[in-house]
Amino acid sequence: MSLDLSQFHQVFFEESQEHLDTLENGLMSLDIDAPDMELLNSIFRAAHSIKGSSGVFGFSALGQITHVLENQLDDWRKEVRRPVTEHIDEMLAVVDDLRALLASYQAGEEIDDAWVGERIESMEAVFKVAAGAQTSAAPAAAAKEESGFGFFDDEEEDDTGFGFFDESEETAYSGNDDQDHDHEGYGFFAAQTEATPEPNEANTEAYGFFDQTGDASSGGAKRPTAVASSSAKPQTAAAANSAANQSIRVNVDKVDSLINLVGELVITQSMLAMMGKDISNIRQEKFEAVVEELQRNTREIQESVMSIRMLPVSFVFNRFPRVVRDTASKLGKKVELVIEGGDTEIDKGLVEKLADPLTHLVRNSIDHGIETPEKRKQLGKPETGIVRLSASQQGGNIVLSIMDDGGGLSRQRILSKARERGMPVDDNMPDHKVWQLIFEAGFSTAEQVTDVSGRGVGMDVVKKNLTSLGGRIDIESVQGFGTTLKLMLPLTLAILDGMAVAVGTETYIVPLASIVESIQPSKQEIKTISGDELLDVRGHYWPVVRLHKAMQVDTEQQKLHQGIVVLVESGKQRFGILADRLIGQQQVVIKSIEQHYKRIDGVAGATIMGDGHIALILDLASLAKGMKEIPAMEAAS
């Protein structure tokens, strides 16, 4: 069998995607006045890696364009020229084009060679214009050419960036580029390589495989890890890099199937525990002890398997420096982006779905929130506005917030807009209710429509997307001081906190986040409107969905006062769900029904209970739709 390169294509696409990210982030953080050599090197390496491997796979357009980029970067790196803003802008545009090209290759589309030619010309034009007489770039690039295509090669003296699957050593190495102990860069743990000042000891440590070796040779010095944490910046950076690269790529399907299997293991384990209760002799105690041991182990396995799916939120955040830069320059504003808590971990499924809503919110903050530099000056604020993007974990939730120090939301304007649209509002509405109005479809308070936003499409979609992820969004705003949008999301899409309720012989799960309270209504609390029963709970009227009716289950308890009513809030709708009894609160693993069956009305998914049975998870929004009509939600606010 001949070597089929296509099997590596996926890896190439992923790698190139990452290199482009490195390139983009590097360019964004490059300080034009004092370029950081290490950063320049890493930008260069990223470009070089793309060029090298695209050559190997025959993606020539990608290679050609990157080649021009690389030449320019090489000049910067060698200090033949100095980076200028104009060039960085062009490079960022090139990065976008490269992404598009990569997508075309990935989709197997034809590449327009004429366009590639033009693009290269336009790039060269831009780079030459500002470069003036500097022409030394050409020979340098030519010399570079031969060494550029190594596949698994990381022993190059100069071009350290070509390893295909491994960057850790190179990163460590390049960090020491200008120092005379280059050889230390090949240690297994980058953190240890330069921990000790004496060259001799450093050497022994650099090649050590285990912590202990280092300890022994340096005669009871501090543990290398401790040293590393106190060492200077380049070293820690290298250490962080090498740690980040201690990873492998795994297909998500494999992880999902692992999660599935572990879920099964947990169920089997609890079945075993139940059976253990029937053993009625001297063995019972021993058996229970063993089952307990098993239980602990399976829980730990489950936790660590779940954690495989978790990714740091920085995967989403990293795109924002670019978004902010582009948006701000388009609008002529000065904006500084502050990112906090990027290492907070979140489910991979969520990471992908968060990107769009967050981009929308950040752009909104810049467009509607941050004032123009002139206006800020007038107001006595610094010219540069701040957008703060932060993530943190709070219990089973992740909280993302987008904060700006702009003008804040205008209560008056929102209220008058709402009146124009014929929405029921009054001047005494509390702030948080006013702010929620901007999530209405088609609502926009922008005085003029800009390129970026203001067309009134968006906030409703953002809210819908977040709600579908099981999240919610809060706004805090103080006029003149800024706006904070807070998104609360579940840590993972795979697990849900639910309340199990029983109806007849069936069990259903109500998402805990939507539950307001559960009550056993008294007869006085039950009112009727033309025969339809409503619950009057402390001045609010709640329509009731009878679960046994909605789900066609036989049950004897059909009267409101016989069962228990779970009051829920879903989107704008509030209603009660009548069930026979509550079973209890528990975390459930969400399973798809639609994989093997069609969508079921009123059901969001299924889960497997401890006894191996399936329980359906209620979809409150579609359950509410099943009701004829929901009478006025509230008597008075």
Partner 1 sequence: MTVQTDNEVRYEFLTFALGEEIYGMDIMQVKEIRGYEAVTRIANAPPFIKGVINLRGEVVPIVDLRIKFLDATPVYNEFTIVIVVQVHDRLVGMVVDGVSDVIGLTRDEIKPSPDFGVAFDSRFLSGLASQEEQMIILVNIEALISSNELGLIGEDAAALKEAVDSQV
Instruction: Name the residue type at position 423.
Output: M
Residue 279 engages partner 1 in binding (rule: CB under 8 A) = no
Considering beta carbons, is residue 534 or 544 the nearer one to partner 1? Answer: 544
Q: In angstroms, rounded to a whole number, what is the distance separating the alpha carbons of residues 470 and 570? A: 10
Task: Give the residue, chosen from 489, 616, 620, 624, that forms a contact with partner 1 under the rule CB under 8 A.
Answer: 616
Q: Where does residue 470 rank: exposed (0-12), middle (13-18), buried (19+ CB within 10 A)?
A: buried
Structure-token match 């001799």, residue found: 200
Considering beta carbons, is residue 458 or 602 the nearer one to partner 1? Answer: 602
Considering beta carbons, is residue 468 or 520 the nearer one to partner 1? Answer: 468
Measure CA of the first residue to CA of the last residue in the chain; give whole Å. 75
Paired tokens of 420: 């124009």
For 174, list phi and psi in degrees, rounded to 5: -65, -25
Task: Give the residue, chosen from 597, 628, 635, 636, that forms a contact with partner 1 under the rule CB under 8 A.
Answer: 597
Task: Give the residue, chosen from 613, 625, 631, 637, that forms a contact with partner 1 under the rule CB under 8 A.
Answer: 613
Paired tokens of 129: 């214009």
Contact window for partner 1 (CB under 8 A) among 257-265, 308-316, 370-378, 468-476: 257-265
Contact window for partner 1 (CB under 8 A) among 12-20, 256-264, 285-293, 525-533: 256-264
Task: Give the residue, chosen from 596, 629, 632, 635, that forms a contact with partner 1 under the rule CB under 8 A.
Answer: 596
Q: In angstroms, rounded to a whole number, what is the distance separating the alpha carbons of residues 76 and 35? A: 9
Residues, the chain, total?
Answer: 637
Residue 261 engages partner 1 in binding (rule: CB under 8 A) = yes
Smallest distance from partner 1 to CB 511, Å:
18
For 282, list phi and psi in degrees, rounded to 5: -60, -20
Residue 594 engages partner 1 in binding (rule: CB under 8 A) = yes
Contact window for partner 1 (CB under 8 A) among 54-62, 221-229, 355-363, 591-599: 591-599
Residue 634 engages partner 1 in binding (rule: CB under 8 A) = no
Smallest distance from partner 1 to CB 521, Å:
24
Smallest distance from partner 1 to CB 257, Å:
9
Contact window for partner 1 (CB under 8 A) among 414-422, 437-445, 450-458, 612-620: 612-620
Residue 382 engages partner 1 in binding (rule: CB under 8 A) = no
Residue 442 engages partner 1 in binding (rule: CB under 8 A) = no
Contact window for partner 1 (CB under 8 A) among 95-103, 269-277, 449-457, 606-614: 606-614
> How many residues interact with partner 1 (rule CB under 8 A)?
29
Task: Give the residue, chosen from 53, 358, 602, 624, that forms a contact with partner 1 under the rule CB under 8 A.
Answer: 602
Question: 500-539: which residues touch partner 1 (CB under 8 A)?
Answer: 506
Residue 556 engages partner 1 in binding (rule: CB under 8 A) = no
Residue 586 engages partner 1 in binding (rule: CB under 8 A) = no
Rg value, the chain, Cα: 30
For 388, list phi and psi in degrees, rounded to 5: -110, 120
3-state per-residue secondary structure call for 242-261:
HHHCCCCCCCHHHHHHHHHH
Smallest distance from partner 1 to CB 631, Å:
24
CA distances from 50 to 6, 29, 249 (A): 16, 20, 19
In this structure, are residues 346 and 386 in contact, taking their beta carbons and an 8 Å threshold? Answer: no
Q: In angstroms, rounded to a whole number, what is the distance separating the alpha carbons of residues 526 and 541? A: 9
In this structure, are residues 66 and 54 in contact, taking their beta carbons and an 8 Å threshold? Answer: yes
In this structure, are residues 566 and 579 in contact, taking their beta carbons and an 8 Å threshold? Answer: yes
Q: In angstroms, rounded to a whole number, what is the distance separating the alpha carbons of residues 44 and 27? A: 10
Site string for partner 1, 452-491 (x = CB under 8 A): ----------------------------------------
Paired tokens of 349: 């499924």
Q: In angstroms, rounded to a whole number, what is the distance separating the alpha carbons of residues 201 and 195? A: 9
Residue 429 engages partner 1 in binding (rule: CB under 8 A) = no
Helix (H, G, I), strand (E, B) or coil at 603: strand
In this structure, are residues 207 and 187 in contact, taking their beta carbons and an 8 Å threshold? Answer: yes
Contact window for partner 1 (CB under 8 A) among 29-37, 58-66, 520-528, 596-604: 596-604
Residue 553 engages partner 1 in binding (rule: CB under 8 A) = yes
Binding site for partner 1 (CB under 8 A): 260-261, 263-264, 506, 550-553, 591-603, 606, 608, 612-616
